C-alpha cells in the first residue's frame, strides 16, 4: 500500500530541518511497522518555501522516496513547485500533487494550471480533492499531462467516469491510472477494493481491468517487486470473492455493479 506519505500531526514542523526530520522518522516507522500485516510505503515531506536542492539530496540519501502532496504546505505556485519537483526527481524521489479545493488547514486551491506546470509524477485524486475541479478541467488534465493519476474515493461518480474514461480508453500508456487512494473511508485496505468497484461501474471498464490499474500499473510506475505475478516477485496476494448476497454472479460482475468484494489478506 502506498501512502501519500506525509505525516499530519498537531504542530507539524514547517521549518526545513523539522520537516525533513519528520519525513525521515515516518519513513523509518513504516519500514518497521506493518499495520494489519500490510506493507506500507510512506514517509514524505510536505514541501515548504525555502527548500533548496541539497534538502532533496539529503532526504534521498536518508531513504525518503516520496514527496508529500505538493500544495499542502507553503509551496503553491506552479513555477516554485516545478523547481522542487524537478529537484526531487533528480534525486530519485517521486512526487504527488494535490488537486482541487483546499485539503488541510493552510492549504489552498490547486487548479489545473498549477498541476500542469508543477509536473509532479502523480496527479493526486484527479477526480477532485475535497472539492472537485470542474469536469472540463479534469478532462484537460487527462489529455495534457503525461503523468500518472490517483483518484479519491470520496468524489463523485461522474468525475470518476471522466477521469477513468479518458485515462484508460483514449490515452495510451503510460498515461494510465496507476495509483489510487481511498481517503476518508477509514478503511483503507477494503476501501481500495470498494474504490475499484466504483471505478469499474462509474468508469464503465471491466472490473478485472480496473484492478490492473491498481496493481500492475502501480508496480511498474513505482518500481515495486509486487503487484505483478511473475517469478522472482514477492508473493503478496489478496484473495477476493463476490460479496455475500450481491446481485453479481461472479466477483468481477459484482465489482462492476459497485459492490465491494469480500477480501482476505
Ligand atoms: Zn490532496
Cα 13 to ligand 1 centre (Å): 19
SS (H, E, C) 110-144: ECHHHHHHHCCCEECCCCCCCCCCCHHHHHHHHHH
More confident residue, 226 or 125: 226
The pTM of the full predicted model, rounded to 2 decimals, is: 0.84
Expressed in angstroms and rounded, the spacing between residue 5 Cα and the centre of ligand 1 is: 11
Residues with CB under 5 A from ligand 1 (ion): 69, 98, 103, 124, 129
Percent helix, percent strand, percent coil in the chain, to nearest 5? 40, 10, 50
Beta-carbon contacts of residue 193 (< 8 Å; ≥ 6 apart): 238, 240, 255, 260, 261, 263
Residues 93/64, Cβ–Cβ less than 8 Å? yes
pLDDT above 90 for 179: no
**Residue-level pLDDT at 60:** 98
Ligand 1 geometric centre to CA of 108 (Å)? 10
- Enumerate helices (H) and strands (E) in the chain, giving the number of each: 10, 6
Phi and psi, residue 170, nearest 5°: -110, -20
Q: Which of 53-57, 181-185, 197-201, 210-214 has the highest mean pLDDT?
A: 53-57
- Please, how many CA atoms are within 13 Å of residue 133, restricted to the half-sphere of its CB? 30
| Best mean pLDDT range from 19-28, 99-108, 119-128 | 19-28
Distance CA 87, CA 113 (A): 20
Read off the pLDDT of each residue in 80-101 and give the average, rounded to a whole number. 95
The pLDDT of 115-131, averaged and rounded, is 85
Per-residue pLDDT of 54-65, as tens digits, reads 999 999 999 999
pLDDT at res. 84:
98
Amino acid at each position: 500500500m502506498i501512502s501519500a506519505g506525509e505525516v499530519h500531526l498537531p504542530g507539524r514542523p514547517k521549518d526545513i530541518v523539522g520537516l525533513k526530520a519528520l519525513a525521515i522518522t515516518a519513513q523509518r516507522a513504516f519500514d518497521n511497522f506493518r499495520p494489519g500485516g500490510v506493507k506500507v510505503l510512506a514517509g514524505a515531506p510536505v514541501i515548504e518555501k525555502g527548500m533548496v536542492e541539497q534538502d532533496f539530496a539529503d532526504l534521498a540519501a536518508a531513504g525518503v522516496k516520496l514527496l508529500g502532496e505538493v500544495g499542502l504546505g507553503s509551496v503553491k505556485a506552479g513555477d516554485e513547485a516545478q523547481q522542487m519537483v524537478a529537484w526531487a526527481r533528480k534525486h530519485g524521489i517521486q512526487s504527488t500533487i494535490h488537486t482541487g479545493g483546499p485539503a488541510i488547514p493552510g492549504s489552498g486551491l490547486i487548479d489545473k494550471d498549477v498541476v500542469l506546470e508543477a509536473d509532479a509524477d502523480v496527479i493526486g485524486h484527479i477526480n477532485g480533492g475535497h472539492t472537485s475541479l470542474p469536469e472540463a478541467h479534469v478532462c484537460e488534465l487527462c489529455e495534457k499531462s503525461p503523468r500518472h493519476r490517483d483518484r479519491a474515493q470520496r468524489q463523485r461518480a461522474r468525475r470518476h467516469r471522466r477521469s477513468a474514461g479518458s485515462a484508460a480508453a483514449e490515452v495510451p500508456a503510460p498515461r494510465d491510472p496507476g495509483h489510487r487512494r481511498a481517503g476518508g473511508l477509514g478503511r483503507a485496505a477494503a476501501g481500495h477494493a470498494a474504490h475499484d468497484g466504483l471505478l469499474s461501474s462509474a468508469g464503465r471498464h471491466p472490473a478485472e481491468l480496473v484492478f490492473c490499474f491498481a496493481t500492475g500499473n502501480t508496480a511498474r510506475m513505482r518500481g515495486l517487486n509486487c503487484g505483478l505475478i511473475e517469478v522472482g516477485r514477492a508473493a503478496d496476494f489478496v484473495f477476493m470473492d463476490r460479496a455475500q448476497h450481491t446481485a453479481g454472479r461472479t466477483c468481477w460482475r459484482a465489482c462492476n455493479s459497485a459492490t465491494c468484494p469480500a477480501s482476505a489478506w
